[in-house]
């Protein structure tokens, strides 16, 4: 199948990004207390599998899923579990992005030190307050928000590692 050939060409092991059911997989590092690995691999996928060349778009575009993955990931978050009301953190691709919401409010994402090398979140402030969680609440974003990312070329292995920083998981319902 074409996914196996794509995996070989991109030298990304068994990660078959062109097969949509796996596209959330990299974000699961946030559930395992290693968000810096998600930040690294998300940038690798965006850099290697999405390019401005005729063969620069990986896999199939099933109902917009592959494009939606890229847009969310480039903004720095993704709805791994849509019913949870949370977006799981990655790291932004841009130095600045502004989303104007249907209600007229804005989400402003600032990452002035963002570069190919500075792909790791050193720290994050949401509306001026330190924020260590590996997720963002949909309802809070809908009220408008300013996310200030301090990006670094080295991973911050102390950020997002506590249980309360992990995104929602059904496996925690029994606790």
Residue burial 122-143, b: 16+ Cβ < 10 Å; e: rest: bebebeeeebbbbbbbeeebee
Q: Are strands 96-100 and 86-89 parallel, antiparallel or unpaired?
A: unpaired
Closest CA to 46 of 112, 91, 9: 91
- The strands making up 86-89's β-sheet, listed across from edge to edge, are 77-78, 86-89, 135-137
Read off the pTM: 0.90
Model confidence at 46, pLDDT cuts 50, 70, 90, reads very high
All residues at 6 or more sequence positions from 135 whose CB lies less than 8 Å from its CB, including other chains: 30, 77, 86, 87, 88, 89, 166, 167, 168
Model confidence at 79, pLDDT cuts 50, 70, 90, reads very high
Lowest-pLDDT range, 47-56, 68-77, 91-100? 47-56
pLDDT digits (tens, 9 = 90+) for 164-175: 999 998 887 776
For the domain made up of 2-165, give the CATH fold.
Answer: GH92 mannosidase fold (3.30.2080)
Cβ–Cβ < 8 Å for 135, 90:
no
pLDDT digits (tens, 9 = 90+) for 2-22: 666 666 666 777 777 777 778
- The residue ranges of every structural domain in the chain are 2-165
Specify the DSSP element, H or E, that contains 106.
strand 106-110
Lowest-pLDDT range, 18-27, 77-86, 156-165? 18-27
The pLDDT value given to residue 20: 77
Strand partners, 94: none
Closest CA to 42 of 24, 58, 57, 60: 24
Cβ–Cβ < 8 Å for 103, 141:
no
DSSP-derived secondary structure letter, 168: P
The span from the CA of 18 to the CA of 58, in Å, is: 5
pLDDT digits (tens, 9 = 90+) for 114-172: 999 999 999 999 999 999 999 999 999 999 999 999 999 999 999 999 999 999 988 87
């Amino acid at each position: 199948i074409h996914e196996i050939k794509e995996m070989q060409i991109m030298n990304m092991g068994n990660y078959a990004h062109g097969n949509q059911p796996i596209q959330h997989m990299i974000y699961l590092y946030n559930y395992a207390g290693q968000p810096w690995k998600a930040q690294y691999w998300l940038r690798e996928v965006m850099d290697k599998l999405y390019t401005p060349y005729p063969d620069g778009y990986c896999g199939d575009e099933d109902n917009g899923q592959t494009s939606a993955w890229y847009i969310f990931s480039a903004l720095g978050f993704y709805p791994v579990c849509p019913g949870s009301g949370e977006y799981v953190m990655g790291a932004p691709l841009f130095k600045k992005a502004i989303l104007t919401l249907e209600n007229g409010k804005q989400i402003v994402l600032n990452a002035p030190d963002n570069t190919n090398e500075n792909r790791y979140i050193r720290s994050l402030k949401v509306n001026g307050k330190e924020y260590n969680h590996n997720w963002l609440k949909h309802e809070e974003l809908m009220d408008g928000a300013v996310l200030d990312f301090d990006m670094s070329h080295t991973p911050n292995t102390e950020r997002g590692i506590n249980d309360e920083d992990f995104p929602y998981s059904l496996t925690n319902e029994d606790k």
